Homo-oligomer: A and B are copies of this chain.
C-alpha cells in the first residue's frame, strides 16, 4: 500500500508489538496516543524539523486537547498498521492536526483523532506564538478562527471512585515531561479490570490544563454515568487539588 507523504500529510507503517497492547491483544489508549506523537515527530523530521531544530527555538510543541473516535474493530498485536497525520490549519498560537490509524490496506480506519497543539517556551513555561519556521513547512492554511474541539464533561460532586499514583522516573519522556499518553494509564486504571475487560472506548475527549511534574502524586478520579444504555465516564487528574487534566470517555459494553 502506497504511503501518502507530502508537506501536509505523513503516513508510516508500524508493526504493532505485544507491549503496545492490553491483555485483550489490542492497543491501549495510552499507546494509540504515543503512536500519534510518533507519526507527528516523523512528519516534522521528514520536513527537516528534527529535535535539534525545534530545540533551537527554546520551545516545544505541547498538545492541549484531543478529540478522538475508535472504531468497533481494533487491530491486534503482530499486525502491521498505518499511522497517519495531517496538518489541518493554524493561527498565531494554535495548530490543529489530524491523526488516523488504518489497517495495512488502508481500507479500515481503527481510530481518528483531532489534536490541538500550542508551542511552549520551555524556560518561561508559557505559550509562545508558533515559530514560522516550524509551522509554514507543513503548508497548512493559516486561519483566523480554528474549529473548537469538544470540551469534556467535568466531574461534579462526589466521584464514583479515585486512586492515587506516584509519578515514576519512567513516566518522563525525552522532552523531560510526563508524556501526554501516560495520563491514560492513570485515567483508566481506577475503572478496574472487570470494567475495562467488558467495555471498549468509542470516543475520548481530553483537555490538558497543567503540567504534571516528576515526583508528584496524582489523584485520578472519575464519575460513571449511564443513560439509555450509553455508558459515559468523566475523569480528572489532580495534583494537590488542582485539576491538571479533564477527560470524558464514551463506552460500548462488549457482549
Contact = CB atoms under 8 A, between A and B. Distances in A.
Interface in A151-171: 163, 165-166, 168-170
Nearest to A18: B174
A31 B41 CA distance: 20
B181 A168 contact: no
A192 B24 CA distance: 33
Nearest to A193: B169
Contacts of A17: 34-35, 38
A185 interface: yes
B77 A170 contact: no
A174 B23 contact: yes
A149 interface: no
A22 B189 contact: no
A77 B169 CA distance: 18
A238 to B, nearest CB: 18
A179 B37 contact: no
Interface in A187-216: 188-189, 192-193, 196, 214-215
Contacts of A22: 169-170, 172, 174
B37 A181 contact: no
Interface residues of A, number: 40
Nearest to A194: B169
Nearest to A13: B15
A21 interface: yes
B19 A181 contact: yes
13 contacts: A22-B169, A22-B174, A23-B172, A23-B173, A23-B176, A77-B174, A163-B166, A165-B166, A169-B188, A169-B192, A169-B196, A170-B185, A170-B189
Interface of A: 17-19, 21-25, 28, 30-31, 34-35, 37-38, 41, 45, 77-78, 163, 165-166, 168-170, 172-176, 179, 181, 185, 188-189, 192-193, 196, 214-215
8 nearest A-B pairs in the assembled complex, by CB-CB distance: A19-B34, A23-B172, A169-B193, A25-B174, A168-B189, A170-B185, A17-B38, A18-B174
